Each structure stands twice: as C-alpha cells, then as structure tokens.
Amino acid sequence: MQEKIKLIENEAIQAINNAQSIPSLDEARVRFLGKNSEFMSLLKSLGDLSVEMRPQAGAQLNSVKNKLENALRDKKIILLQHEQQKKISAEKIDITLPGKGIRRGTIHPITQVMDEAKAIFGRLGFEIAEGPDIELEYYNFDGLNIPAHHPSRDMWSTFFIKDDVLLRTHTSPVQVRVMEKRKPPLAIIAPGRVYRRDYDATHSPVFYQLEGFLVDKNITFGDLKGTLTEFLRQIFGKEKKVRFRPSFFPFTEPSAEVDVECVLCQGKGCRLCKDTGWLEILGSGMIDPNVFKGVSYDPEMYSGFAFGMGIERIAMLKYGIDSIHLFYENDLRFLEQF
C-alpha cells in the first residue's frame, strides 16, 4: 500500500503542476481527491488492514492528502493571478479620449429666492423666527381670528392629522407664537414650508412661504405699502409694475392683495396669469385688533401690519417660469440654468 500511495502522490503532484487553467486544475482535484478516486478508496480500505499496519498507513494517507490539498490551493492562486494579469494586459486605455467632466451642483432657485428675500427684509430691519410644520389648530386658525366653522376657513384647503392637529397652511402661526412671548416693537419674518390641498400650474400641495409682521405704536397702512413696495422694487427691479387692491383676510383689516405685472406676457395676458396680465404675489393688511387681544396687546396702543408671500410664485416671476412643478421634478436641464 505504501508504494501505491507514493505512486498516486507523484502522479497527482505532476497533474497539478501541469494544470494550465482553473478547469484543468479542478479535473485533477476530482481525479485524485474526488469521492470515486483511487486515493479515497485507499482511505476507505484502512479498516481492512491489520491492527499493526493501520496506524502507519493512515498517517501516510493523511500526510499525502494534506500535501495534495496544499498543492491545489497554491496552484489555484497562481492560476488566478495569471488570469488576472492576462485580463489587465488585454485591456487598452485610449489616452486621447476626453475625460469625463464633473457636473457641479447649484443652489436651488427656490433657495436662492428665499435667501434673497430674507436678505432684503434683513436690511429693512426684520429678524427671522420659525415655527413647527405640524401645528395646533389654535395657532393656525383660532389665534388668527378664524374661529371654528368660520366660512373663511374654506380659503385654506387643510391637511388635518387629527381634530386639532394639522399641517400648517401658512407660516402665520409664527406671528401668534412670537407675540405671545414678546412685547412690541416687533419686526419679524417667518420663512418656511406650508401645506395645502391645491394643485395646478401655479399651486403645489407643498410649497414655501415667507410671512412677516411689524408691530409698534403709530404704524399705518402707509408703512405697509412702503415696506412691500421697497421689497418688490429690490427683488424685481424698478421697472416692474405693482398694484395694491382691496381684499379680505380674517386676521387683517383693512386687507390688500399685491399683484405684479406678468413677466411672461408683460401684462398682455397668458396661461400663467390666466389672461389677466397680473399675478397675485402676496396678501397683506393691518393686523386685526382681535388678534392683538388674543395675545394681550392693547389695540388702542399698538398697531401693525402683516403680509405673506409664496416663494415659488416670486421665483416664477423673477425667472419667467410658467409651471410651479418644474421646481420639484429635479430635471438637471432646468436646475442647471440657475
């Protein structure tokens, strides 16, 4: 048996060394160490040997098996390295091809307009305040002189989470929250995301607003008009026409909507402005005395104005964009223009 084991060992080592590929190496493994190989038959026949011969033969078989397994492993590593080297050598790099350019990102147009608006109001003396997106019904409606079942609540298509909790429909709740904690004089803007069940070319269910308010003694509608006119002059340029027209908001009295001449049709009428030549850009008015009473301000001593605007609407006018949904489609061809 010792001679037969040695013969198998020599043949196996020679077959392993002569293998030129992984498949041929695998054939050698099956031939010499497979279940039906002669070597495995010798292992199975150990029990037929005498008690004296069995330990020596067993030790020799195990030694040869370990030797062959090590030889197979080492040869496989060599063959894999050889194949990898052949593959690398076969690959060609054309150094004359142009390199791949890196596409640089830009600040989103909504962010650009929001930053510009905050900077303008900052120069006018306003400070920034923020509030939660998920709001209590009191701050979104009741504290702004919009009691339960008031018809004006239909102006806001609200997403309710439960009876008294909702996604805020405007950032005006910040006004109530600030006035509860601080006393006049106040000059605040509240930028942020708001939510309404509304969808068309100029409306989105999720959009950005910037609301502001100023409270002090002897504040008049002239202060409101002067502040907003200066803001619009800085953000659109002096040549853009602006108009104030009477309107209604529950939390202001008197109230006014501010329109800007349509940037696409220059006032002639188009799909964006619904053939009116004007685009409503913000709502405004003098803060209603009932709002002051709710936060323990004396309406005989203090007066103030408030306003709110959609940042997407301003960006549409500023850049001549005819659909609000372009801001949210993440089309690089659109975004790279900014």
**DSSP per-residue codes, 35-55:** TTSHHHHHHHGGGGS-TTTHH
Residue 34 lies in a domain: yes
Whether residue 319 sits in one domain with residue 249: yes
Whether residue 120 sits in one domain with residue 37: no
Among candidate residues 90, 125, 144, the one where a domain is terminated: 90
So what's the pLDDT on residue 200?
67
Among candidate residues 63, 90, 117, the one where a domain is terminated: 90
Residue 280 lies in a domain: yes
Q: How many residues does the chain have?
A: 338
So what's the pLDDT on residue 88?
78
Whether residue 217 sits in one domain with residue 74: no
CA neighbours within 13 Å on the CB side: how many for 148? 4
Whether residue 31 sits in one domain with residue 172: no
So what's the pLDDT on residue 7?
82
Question: Which stretches of 203-261 are DSSP H helices?
Answer: 221-236
Q: In what order do the strands lie in the sheet with 134-136?
A: 134-136, 165-167, 159-162
Residue 269 lies in a domain: yes
Bridge partners of 212, per DSSP, are: 189, 307
Whether residue 270 sits in one domain with residue 218: yes
Whether residue 277 sits in one domain with residue 175: yes
Q: What is the CATH number of the domain that holds 227?
A: 3.30.930.10
- Beta strands 186-195 and 242-249 are unpaired
Residue 186 lies in a domain: yes
Helices 109-123 and 311-319 pack at an angle, to 10 degrees, of 100
Residue 95 lies in a domain: no
> Total structural domains in the chain?
2
So what's the pLDDT on residue 255?
95
So what's the pLDDT on residue 37?
82
Whether residue 162 sits in one domain with residue 26: no
One-letter amino acid at 187 equals A
Helices and strands (H, E) in the chain, number of each type: 11, 10
Helices 311-319 and 221-236 pack at an angle, to 10 degrees, of 50
Q: In what order do the strands lie in the sheet with 186-195?
A: 127-128, 186-195, 206-216, 303-310, 278-287, 252-261, 242-249
Residue 104 lies in a domain: no
Residue 96 lies in a domain: no
Are the C-beta atoms of residues 242 and 267 closer than 8 Å to each other? no
pLDDT in single tens digits along all 338 residues of the chain: 677 778 888 888 888 888 888 888 888 888 878 888 887 777 777 777 777 777 777 787 778 888 888 888 888 899 899 888 888 777 777 778 787 777 777 889 999 999 999 999 999 999 999 999 999 989 989 899 887 777 666 666 788 888 889 999 999 999 999 999 999 999 999 999 999 887 766 567 888 999 999 999 999 999 999 999 999 989 988 888 889 999 988 899 999 999 988 777 777 888 767 888 888 889 999 999 999 999 999 999 999 999 999 998 899 888 878 788 888 888 888 888 88
Per-position DSSP letters for 274-324, written without gaps between them: TTSSEEEEEEEEEEPHHHHHHTT--TTT-EEEEEEEEHHHHHHHHHT-S-G
Domain that holds residue 61: 2-90
Whether residue 328 sits in one domain with residue 256: yes
So what's the pLDDT on residue 266?
76
So what's the pLDDT on residue 264?
72
Whether residue 207 sits in one domain with residue 168: yes
Whether residue 294 sits in one domain with residue 256: yes
Whether residue 156 sits in one domain with residue 85: no
So what's the pLDDT on residue 320?
79
